[in-house]
Structure 1
Amino acid sequence: MPDGARKTMRQRLLAPEVSPPSVFLDPASMPWETSAFPGILSKTLYSDPSGMCTLLLKLEPGAVVPLHEHTAIEQTYVLEGTFLDEEGTCLPGQFVWRPAGNTHVAWAGPEGATILGVFLKPNVFAAGQKFFTAPD
């Protein structure tokens, strides 16, 4: 443990209160959840009432994220496989971000894809499907 690091709660620097604790997750031990989209599974790593979320998504080969619009910036990092849309292709270790208003269809390549997605707000789907973190 570095000098000065302790297992005590620190004081916030910007307010006279205790610093809120970090939240550690083990995504490998979390179950994959089915989604409204065939061949796409998800793990919710972070979600809050504003709609901001971080998702680990697993797409089977050829799985499609149907036509949708981004209501805020979306950031995607490809961990495995190929993730593509009409505008381009992302391979493992590559990153794409899409601005609010971007409308597209995305899909996994022939080997599937595992991606990390960061959403500031949920997407809106043309066919009315619910976003991954929307309540049932």
Structure 2
Amino acid sequence: MEWGPTPFEGISIKVLYEDKAQGETTCLLRWEPGATLPMHKHAAIEQSYVIEGSFGDHDGICRAGEYVWRQPGSFHETYSEEGAVILAVYRKPNVFKNSSGYGDDA
């Protein structure tokens, strides 16, 4: 299983499970030091477990061995100063801002 690119510089993905019809994904995300994920909305619960390194947002830093989840409708921008590998479980894809606000064509 190979690491693949994402639309975000410094972040690569290894998909472990995907149901495109339902929008569900379980994946590993590899963050290079200094990588950021722009402001986005969670359409459904997101769960993340940090395997190595750390990542954070306005609520704080999540380090190796820690778990964090985001409730549906929440917004945040995430970053990793040192790099990280994260196990992420999405019930629906994140929604990123586009020219008309937050929507599917981001």
What's the TM-score once normalised by structure 2's chain length? 0.89
Note the C-alpha offset of 1:43: 0.5
3-state DSSP of counterpart to 2:83: strand
Residue 68 of structure 1 aligns with an amino acid whose one-letter code is H
Instruction: Give the greater-gyration-radius structure (CA).
Output: 1
Q: Which has the higher contact order (CA 8 A, sep 6+)?
A: 2
3-state DSSP of counterpart to 1:126: strand
Identify the residue that residue 118 of structure 1 maps to in structure 2: 89
Match 2:76 to one of 104, 123, 127: 104
Residue 49 of structure 2 aligns with an amino acid whose one-letter code is Y
| Cα distance in 1, alignment partners of residues 60 and 98 from structure 2 | 23
The size of the alignment, in residue pairs, is 98
Identify the residue that residue 17 of structure 1 maps to in structure 2: none
Identify the residue that residue 36 of structure 1 maps to in structure 2: 7
What's the TM-score once normalised by structure 1's chain length? 0.70
Note the C-alpha offset of 1:126: 1.2
Instruction: Flag structure 1 segments of 5+ consecutive residues without an equivalent.
Output: 1-29, 129-136
**CA RMSD for the aligned pairs?**
1.0
Note the C-alpha offset of 1:108: 0.8
3-state DSSP of counterpart to 2:87: strand
Note the C-alpha offset of 1:62: 1.1
String of CA shifts for 1:88-111, please: whole Å, max 9, x gaps: 1100000000000110000112x2
3-state DSSP of counterpart to 2:51: strand
Note the C-alpha offset of 1:127: 3.7
Shift >3 Å, 4+ stretches: none
| Cα distance in 1, alignment partners of residues 85 and 97 from structure 2 | 24
Residue 93 of structure 2 aligns with an amino acid whose one-letter code is P
